[in-house]
Chain A
Amino acid sequence: MTAPLLDINTWVGAWPFRQLRDASVTGLLKRMDKHGIERAVVGSLTGILYRNAHPANEELSRQVRRHLDRFVPFALVNPLDPSWKTDLQRCADDLGFLGARLVPQYHEYRLTDPAVLDVVDAIAERGWCIQVPQRIEDRRSRHPWDQARDLAPVEFEEALAARPKVGWMFLNTLGLDGARLPEKARYVVDISRMTSVLQRNMQAFLDSAGQDRLAFGTGMAWNMPEPALLKLDLLDRPKKMKDGIAWRNAAKLLKLP
């Protein structure tokens, strides 16, 4: 058995193109309890397609405020929103958020755009981590109106190079080459799309990027959690390394005990 589980990749809310089951905080808690997941970083799926994401953050804040022992809420931030600074301040001071999620593919920017780096810096000044998903839905099954691109690996590389001291967490990624990511940057990548058998790209990433660069992530409530649990269980690496993936690597960035 590994250490307690910290899931850095969970979402609640609605998605316009597919009904999600139990995608509420209550539903997520039930699944976390069932699978022994002690804490989860959670963000709003609903807000991704809102022109103004802030009401989705307010809604998420209301839902999780009695469960802050289980959740680490991350605010959805749109750097192109004219009031991002005010919204960010409200998320921190009034709504209890502890990190930020960026979705460049839906808000149409690159992480290294100068104006975006200003927002990255403002988030980091609060001591927050920043999560970025490579994609939300698989390109093969997206609704035709969902035109968002998958982020290219180079976009993650450039973001790390531009802001190596920021605590980055990359979600739903596949195809990142650990050797190309800056050695001194602060980041973890979640395992939700990787494998520990057959292709063994978790092992390849650990070998190329470093032993503390992976973190447990399921993609709930979009995904089923069992595949991620199996991957961690079957990973043929020492318990200490698996414990790091289960909790420690992400907890260190999040400043959790």
Chain B
Amino acid sequence: MRRIDCHMHVRGAGVDWSWDHNDRIIEAADALGIDQLVVSIPVMRGMPDHATVRSCNDAVIASMQQYPGRILGYCYVVPGQKESQDEISRCLDAGMIGIKLYNQYKIWDPAVHPVLERAIAEAVPVLEHAGHPTTREFRDEQPNISDASDFVRAATLYPECMLIEGHIGGGGDWEWSIKQLREAPSVYLDTSGSIIDDGMVEMCVRELGADRLLFATDMTMEGGVGKILGAELTRSQREKIFCKNFQAILDRRTDSRAGATS
């Protein structure tokens, strides 16, 4: 059964995370049977300038070239920057397969609309950092973090957009998030994050269906794989989550481009 990790990061552009070389990612993926990892380097605090955004994407492109076929890339952009559309073009031309947003804007914010419209036009997914923090401390740290209700709002505006809510296991109150996301059937949810609470994946499947869940680690690699292996799922559900659902997302762009050239 193939495994595509749809929410991962690489070191580069001055962001070292906590490992010494990106070879460690490949070693870990080999050990855990992960075939492909879709990565980005977002800026996690503040409003970066375009040069910083570009350097993050350059490092992702370098990793794609270093590990061809194993590492796929998301183009990180800050909505509202005048260079965003050109940056998306540059990154998609370099082979990236989607767009990554962090916490600079709520996902429904009008500043984000051109990015979502571009994603629809290009038939690529938009993965956004997300969470529903339960404490003031965390809300104050990330005032523009999108939670599931923000995804519902964006999906109402753009139901044809392939929105991915990031890390159900790293974004606060996961029960609240799952229940809220029932109202947005077009939104996918990734399973990453360091929280490995028993019953979390099963509740996702029960409330949202296995077709909307995407396997991911977001750097919690044993936890990410272990929570899918250990969840009470059918083989078919597990396969959808591990690879088929994200492969279908990737195929949308392939099919779209094939249609455009035929």
Contact = CB atoms under 8 A, between A and B. Distances in A.
Given A197-B32, A221-B198, A141 B219 contact: no
Contact of A197 (B31, B173, B197): B31
Nearest to B171: A140
B101 to A, nearest CB: 19
Interface string B170-185: 1111110000000000
A193 B222 CA distance: 10
Contact of B198 (A20, A144, A231): A20
Contacts of B120: none
Interface string B211-237: 000000001111101110111000000
B18 A199 contact: yes
Nearest to A143: B134
A230 B172 contact: no
Contacts of A220: 198
Given A197-B32, A198-B25, A139 B227 contact: no
Interface string B131-149: 1011101100000000000
A234 B175 CA distance: 31
Contacts of A144: 134-135
Interface string A73-95: 00000000000000000000000
Interface string A241-254: 00000000000000
Nearest to A142: B134
Contacts of B173: 141
Interface in B108-142: 131, 133-135, 137-138
Contacts, number: 93
B176 to A, nearest CB: 9
B174 A230 contact: no
A223 B27 contact: no
Interface in A183-218: 193, 195-200
B189 to A, nearest CB: 15
Contacts of A139: 135, 137-138
B196 interface: yes
Given A18-B175, A226-B229, A198 B221 contact: yes
A197 B27 contact: yes
Given A220-B198, A222-B198, A230-B32, A200 B226 contact: no
A225 B198 CA distance: 8
Contacts of B134: 140-144
A226 B222 CA distance: 8
B132 to A, nearest CB: 9
Given A226-B229, A227-B227, 9 more contacts: A18-B175, A20-B198, A141-B174, A195-B221, A198-B221, A199-B219, A219-B196, A223-B198, A229-B226
Closest 7 CB pairs of A and B: A226-B230, A227-B226, A226-B226, A197-B28, A230-B222, A227-B223, A198-B28
Interface of B: 18-19, 24-25, 27-28, 31-32, 131, 133-135, 137-138, 170-175, 194-199, 219-223, 225-227, 229-231
